Amino acid sequence: EAKGNDAFNAAPVGSGPYKFVSWQKGVSVALSRNDDYWGKKGPFAKAEFRAVPDAATRLANLQAGTTDLAVGLDVDLAAQLKSSATAKPLSVLTERVGYVKLNPNVAPFNDKRVREAVARSIDKEGIVNGLLGGVDKPVAQMVTTSHFGYVDGVEGYAFDPAKAKQLVKEAGAAGKAVTFATAPAFDQRIVQAIAQMIGETGLTVNIEMTDMATYLKRAQSEPAAQPSIAFGRWSCACQDADGVLFPLLHSSSSWSSVSNPEINKLLEDARNTLDEKRRVEDYKTVSTWMAKEAPIVPVYQAAIVYGAAKKLEWQPTANESLFLNRMTWKD
Cβ contacts of 35 within 8 Å, gap of 6 or more = 41
Give the three-class secondary structure for 136: coil
153 secondary structure, DSSP code = T
pLDDT at residue 237, rounded to an integer = 82
If pLDDT is split at 50, 70 and 90, which confidence band does 1 have?
A: low
Dist. CA 5–CA 3, nearest whole Å? 7
Cα angle 277, 278, 284; round to 5: 90
Query: Does domain 5-91+305-329 sit in CATH 3.40.50.720?
Result: no
Domain boundaries, the chain: 5-91+305-329, 94-302
Dist. CA 306–CA 47, nearest whole Å? 17
Asked whether 248 and 234 are in contact (CB, 8 A), the reply is: yes
Whether the predicted pLDDT of 17 surpasses 70: yes
Mean pLDDT, rounded, for 191-205: 98
77-127 residue pLDDT tens = 999 999 999 999 999 999 999 999 999 999 999 999 999 999 999 999 999
Verdict on whether the full-model pTM lies above 0.85: yes
Dist. CA 56–CA 36, nearest whole Å? 38
* CATH superfamily of domain region 94-302: Dipeptide-binding Protein; Domain 3 (3.10.105.10)
Report helix angle 188-199 to 112-121, nearest 10.
Answer: 120
Q: Residue 189: which H helix or E strand, with range?
A: helix 188-199
Give the three-class secondary structure for 291: helix
